[in-house]
């Protein structure tokens, strides 16, 4: 309850500062509308905002799910085989260095405009932070625990399951928080480039039509989506890692 109250106070202060800046600097409405005007536009266009948000979140969620699967697979492979890591890591770095804005039109040629391009772009954007954190997490396993598993004859699979994965979970959630915010941005980027429906396309269309209030409402909706993903990931981390906090309190 204290956290909700403090968050509400911060939001109210930000809205008050927004209103004060517009009044104090005499900013015209076509540049920055008042919070009340943005709220009215959001209510009047609630159906449009919800529909476009669902499309963006769908592409972001599906791409994030695919990138998580690939990141987990590569991280486990690199943990088991050092040669695989030395061979594939430079290729992955080159792949990550390619600008997504330049690659997106090529992706459109293969998968077409729409959900497919958004999913591929989100997968590319969110894959690397997930994989890097998973590799670090799997490598951070306690050496004494690994040696004990080895003494009792546990194979590589059991060592990964019972030792490395539990130690890698905090790193995984850290990467997931970063990738979640990047997934929203990646989905919107693909919509800007390909013209597919979603929050990104709505922002472009609102700007071209000079519908400033709807433009700001769409931007704030995208921010709320990113914050919601961050909050959901933090909540999932607290629920999943409750065993770790309880063991620390016992010790």
CB neighbours of residue 242 within 10 Å:
10
For residue 164, what pLDDT band results from cuts at 50, 70 and 90?
confident
pLDDT band for position 70 (cuts 50, 70, 90): very high
What distance in Å separates the CA atoms of residue 148 and residue 165, rounded to the nearest whole number?
16
User: Under a CB-based contact definition with an 8 Å cutoff, are residues 241 and 170 in contact?
Assistant: yes
pLDDT recorded at residue 249: 43
Choose between 185 and 92: higher pLDDT.
Answer: 185
What is the percent of the chain with per-residue pLDDT over 70, rounded to a whole number? 94
- 37-246: CATH topology is MetI-like fold (1.10.3720)
pLDDT band at 192 (very low <50, low <70, confident <90, very high): confident
C-alpha to C-alpha distance for 216 and 39, rounded to whole angstroms: 9
Residue 248, pLDDT score = 40
The secondary structure of 26-82, three-state, reads CCCCCCCCCHHHHHHHHHHCHHHHHHHHHHHHHHHHHHHHHHHHHHHHHHHHHHHCH
CB 130 within 8 Å of CB 74 = no
Q: Angle at Cα 21 formed by Cα 19 and Cα 25, nearest 5°? A: 130
Q: What is the structure's pLDDT at 62?
A: 93
CA dihedral 152→155→159→161, nearest 10 degrees, is -120
Q: Say whether pTM exceeds 0.85.
A: no
User: CA 240 to CA 45: how far, in whole Å?
Assistant: 38
- 214-244 pLDDT, tens digit per residue, is 999 999 999 888 888 888 888 888 888 775 5
Across 114-137, average pLDDT: 87
- Per-residue pLDDT tens over the stretch 11-65: 788 888 888 888 888 878 777 888 888 889 899 999 999 999 999 999 999 999 9
């Amino acid at each position: 309850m204290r956290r909700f109250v403090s968050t509400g106070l911060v939001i109210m202060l930000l809205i008050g500062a927004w209103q004060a800046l517009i009044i104090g600097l005499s900013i015209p409405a076509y540049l920055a509308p008042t919070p009340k005007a943005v709220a009215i536009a959001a209510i009047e266009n609630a159906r449009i905002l919800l529909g476009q948000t669902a499309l963006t979140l769908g592409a972001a969620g599906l791409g994030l799910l695919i990138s998580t699967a690939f990141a987990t697979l590569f991280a486990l492979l690199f943990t088991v085989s050092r040669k695989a890591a030395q061979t594939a890591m430079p290729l992955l770095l080159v792949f990550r260095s390619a600008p997504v804005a330049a690659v997106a039109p090529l992706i459109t040629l293969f998968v077409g405009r729409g959900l497919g391009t958004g999913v591929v772009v989100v997968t590319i954007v969110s894959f690397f932070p997930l994989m890097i954190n998973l590799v670090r997490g799997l490598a951070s396993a306690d050496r004494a625990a690994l040696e004990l598993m080895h003494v009792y004859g546990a194979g590589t699979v059991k060592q990964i399951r019972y030792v490395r994965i539990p130690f890698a979970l905090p790193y995984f959630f850290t990467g997931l928080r970063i990738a979640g915010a990047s997934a929203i941005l990646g989905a919107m980027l693909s919509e800007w480039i390909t013209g597919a429906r979603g929050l990104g396309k709505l922002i472009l269309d609102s700007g071209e039509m000079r519908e400033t209030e709807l433009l700001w409402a769409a931007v704030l909706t995208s921010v709320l989506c990113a914050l919601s993903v961050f909050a959901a990931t933090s909540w999932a981390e607290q629920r999943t890692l409750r065993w770790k906090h309880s063991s620390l309190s016992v010790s």
